Structure 1
Amino acid sequence: MLKEYREEIRELDEKILELIERRLEIARTIAEYKMDRDIPVTDAAQEENVIDHVVSLAKREDDVPYIRRFWRMMLENSRAVQHKVVTGDNITGLWLREMIRSAAKRKENPRVVYKGGEGSYGHEAAAAYFGTGGFGGCSTYEKVCRTVKNGDADYAVLPLESNTAGAMPGVRELINKYGLYIAGEQNVRLDDCLAAPKGARLEDITEIHAHEQVLARCSAFLEDHPEIKAVPSLSSSKCVKKIAEENSPHKAVITSGFAAELNGLEVIAPYISDNPGSCTRFVILTDKFEISPGGDKVSMAFTVRHRAGALQRVLGIFADYHLNLSKIESVPVGGADFEYLFFTDFTGDIAQANTQKALALVEQECDFLRILGNYKSKRRNIVLVGMPGSGKNAVGKALALQIGMEYYDTDALIEEQEGKDTTRIFAENGEKYFRDAETEMSKKVSSLGGAVISTGGGTMMRPENARALRRTGYVFFVNRPVEEILESVDLSNRPLLAGDPKQIYKLYADRLPTYRAVADYEVRNDGELSQVVNALDSIIELLKGGYRAV
């Protein structure tokens, strides 16, 4: 019986196809008529009349929503056909072509502003993105935007959203209000730590100072130390400076490792946040539109006409052109009742014809459309740490291949830079020289975004390396039993173990607490390679941010 039903549906599909083809031909003829008389392709009122007429003929009330949806899709396709007749294959709006043509170039040695004082997370994001430049802080988001708009700074760095708290109130509205553009993005982990003057010990601390919001997100640590008094402050940066200036061995501050280093403080308890994976996405703003090299992300703002299905039609265009929407958010339009401005991010490059065609069609569905930026996305890195011989290299290569990301080995990069292998670097230049090179390489690879990074066994023993790599990545400790390393790995080319491979037991015991402290996840490597890679892949799939290549 099922076979007969399917055959009947097959015959109906063939008849429907014939009718659709006839309808599209008529649509093309109508398009030519409109083109000759300069009539717009889109006629929303006529489309609604067509749908209402068809719905009125429906025999079953239950079928009405499906029929309405089907005919709306039919009309969208007819409209797309008409657009192609009127504009040809090149349906890029003149405004978009002009925008691409006049795009500004990235400024060198820029003046950069952020909200907050020296050592704030805004400052850290600016330093991570630009490396060098003139940095300065402002007291409010509005002042930051105004400073760039007035030409007193080249770029602004503002937080846009957090993976725990969502969108930062008011920032998107300010971007639109001041006509700023997004030139890039930088993810920064909120790595709260306890810092104090050098020489201070945790057991001697009687007061912990911090902004009240910072104290709230470190509640578990504070509960574990009831003997220490929590002192709230209104300014994080002033709080850090106060502790540094007083130089008391009994007072500490909760801040970032970045701020602690800037103010000459020492971290006495790292990673104390209740949610150590908390990350904030900062955007780099400028008053001139730029197209970043390798740009693969587009941000835009738009409003749609106030009629049924308007937003759905816009979103349908992105689906038709296979552009992945990664974010859509709405904010009320000031002065209008229940009107909304939509902000969206999608994977794309406005230099590509496919993206241009989609945006030209989107423009015709909108009352207002503004491209905010086309820039390179910064997905968080996947950082592998662990002992020499733990399999980080093999796991990293296989994982990068499986999830579609670039792979980097910091030891290999240092060897390429120095023109000799690690053993020779240790022998000819000394361990300190190698560790300094390791620190510089850690900073460099941490700025990549969206990469799998395998680190050397001793990389994370320097706090500044751990701080740089954690700032922009998730850290995975690949833990392999020492006995298996001794049995299967030739350690003669490992500088710290070449003389006595069994020294690995002591090395493992010394480094294990650090590996576990810096890591977000620990994965055992005591089985097949595929099992380890799949375990990592499963964890990554659960993480926010989307790691698989699209």
Structure 2
Amino acid sequence: MEDLVKLRDEIDAIDDQIVSLFEQRMAVAENVAAFKRSVGKPVLDKEREKIKIQKVTEKTSNAFNRQAVESLFGQIMAVSRMLQYQRLASERTDVEGFQVGDMVTTPETKVVYTGVPGAYAEAAMDSYFGSEIRGFNVETFGDAMEAVHSGRAQYGVLPIENSSTGSVNEVYDLLSAYDNHIVGETMIKIEHALLGLPGSRIEDIRTVYSHPQGLMQCSRFLDAHREWQQVSLQNTAASAKRVLDDQDMGQAAIASRQAAKNFGLVVLKEKLNDLDNNFTRFVVISHEKVFRKSADKISVCFEVPHESGTLYNILGHFIFNGLSMTRIESRPIQGKPWQYRFFVDFNGNLREQAVRNALHGIQSETEGFRILGNYIGVGQQ
């Protein structure tokens, strides 16, 4: 036991030296930041770090220590960069051109949603904006993005995530492709029903239409009717309209009760969802780079080199600035096999210095960086 105590005392003494030397190193790093600022030199110097790693690993005595020292110094240099980014970011007065502003709506404000009247997207639009706007519908998510981008609509409402089936991947891809921005979000409870023509019965059904997510969210019910042909359409309300237009007693749609009212259909069965607590989160988009003073949620996207540890180092910017991530999503990049674009949501406001510090660091070390928006998160309005 005495030998163990002595060994621990030795480790404590070494650790004290490590801490002291680390603080000395960080003090020098601050001076490096000041110099780089004065000459306009970027914080990240990949070639310098590569040479540094090679030199320190050559001083180790075995393969295990070599790998450990490579990892250790990689982290030390990452932390050093974060400190330098903080010093440089403190001088910035804006972030990517975003400005504080309110969402002003009038009875003439145009808001676009996807689908036809009775779609869940229309319900999300009504939930967020109320009735004092001019809502209109388009067929696809891309059509909605284009309407906002061109100015044909001031705002758009698009589904981005469902609590049971996950992300709406196409919307994530469109957010990176278009120069539109998230200015708000809302959440709608999804309650699917089986809709048919008046006089039809469940026993008559041969084909069921719905959005792909609607079919997935009712998989247990549909598994009990495997003889039915499942057909995916653009959205749930369009599926209800298809049943009305075809006037075929053997067809049904999975959609909302509101869609049944809109198209004169009857509800053959309610509560089809696999999960009772089934919600879809919708984002509100605008072409303007604005955010409210009370905005508390930020969405960004970026690409990282296809190298070990790169994503880990990027996420460190959130940790070292005390920011809480709420979601991370990845999407494959077209034309770049096995490379991915990352979407991150985190809590914060673009006026906060910690947010500016993190974003400056992330932007400096990634490709295709974009701030998608700063807005009031669901449940905080």
TM-score band, normalised by shorter chain: 0.7 to 0.9
Structure 1 match to 2:52: 50
Paired position in structure 1 for 2:331: 331
Structure 1 residue aligned with 2:106? 108
Equivalent pair of 2:192/2:270 in contact (CA under 8 Å): yes
Deviation digits for residues 165-186 of structure 1 (CA, Å, limit 9, x no counterpart): 3332332222222211011222
Which residue is 2:320 aligned to?
Answer: 320
Aligned position for 1:493: none
Q: Cα distance, 1:374 vs. partner?
A: 0.7
The number of residues matched between the two structures is 374
Cα gap change, 1:314/1:267 in structure 2, threshold over 3 Å: closer, same or farther?
same
Q: Say which SS state the counterpart of residue 330 (structure 1) adopts.
A: strand
3-state SS of 2:377 partner:
coil
Shift of 1:313: 2.0
1:42-63 per-residue CA deviation (whole Å, 9 max, x = no partner) reads 2221112112211121223223
Alignment of 1:486-525 (within 5 A): none
- 2:209 is matched by which residue type in structure 1? H
Q: Distance in 2 between matches of 1:257 and 1:162?
A: 19
Residue 20 of structure 2 aligns with which residue? 18
**Change in CA separation of 1:45 and 1:208 when aligned onto 2, cut-off 3 Å:** same
Answer yes or no: is 1:122 the counterpart of 2:121: yes
Q: Using a 3 Å threshold, how does the CA distance of structure 1 residues 28 and 140 change in structure 2: closer, same or farther?
A: closer
| Matched ranges for 1:27-426 at <5 A | 27-83=29-85, 87=88, 91=90, 93-96=92-95, 98-100=97-99, 103=101, 105-109=103-107, 110-132=109-131, 133-195=133-195, 206-207=204-205, 210-211=208-209, 213=212, 214=214, 217-218=217-218, 220-221=220-221, 234=233, 236-241=236-241, 253-263=253-263, 265=265, 267=267, 269-292=269-292, 294-305=294-305, 308-336=308-336, 338-378=338-378
CA 1:267–1:40: 2 relative to 1, 3 Å: same
Aligned-partner Cα distance in 1 for 2:288–2:182: 9
Q: 1:369 to 1:294 in 2, by over 3 A?
A: same
| Larger RCO (CA under 8 A, 6+ residues apart) | 2
Measured at CA, do residues 374 and 219 of structure 1 come closer, stay the same or move farther in structure 2, by a change above 3 Å?
closer
Unaligned regions of 5+ residues in structure 1, if any? 379-448, 452-550
Q: Classify 1:65/1:162 alpha carbon distance in 2 versus 1 (closer, same or farther; 3 Å).
A: farther
* Contact 1:41–1:83 under 8 Å retained in 2: yes
Q: Which has the larger radius of gyration?
A: 1
Displacement of 1:271: 0.5
Alpha-carbon spacing, 1:299–1:17, altered in 2? closer, same or farther (3 Å): same
TM-score (norm 2): 0.83
CA separation of 1:243 and 1:16: change in aligned 2, threshold 3 A: closer
Counterpart contact for 2:82–2:317, Cα < 8 Å:
no
Distance 2:145 2:186 in 1: 17
Q: How large is the RMSD of aligned CA atoms in angstroms?
A: 3.5
**AA in 2 matched with 1:40:** P
Distance in 1 of aligned mates of 2:180 and 2:5 = 60
Q: CA deviation at 1:38?
A: 3.6
Is 1:244–1:263's contact at 8 Å kept on the other side of the alignment?
yes
- For residues 505-545 of structure 1, give each alpha carbon's deviation from its aligned partner in whole angstroms, at most 9, with x where no partner exists: xxxxxxxxxxxxxxxxxxxxxxxxxxxxxxxxxxxxxxxxx
CA contact (8 A) 2:85 2:360 kept: no
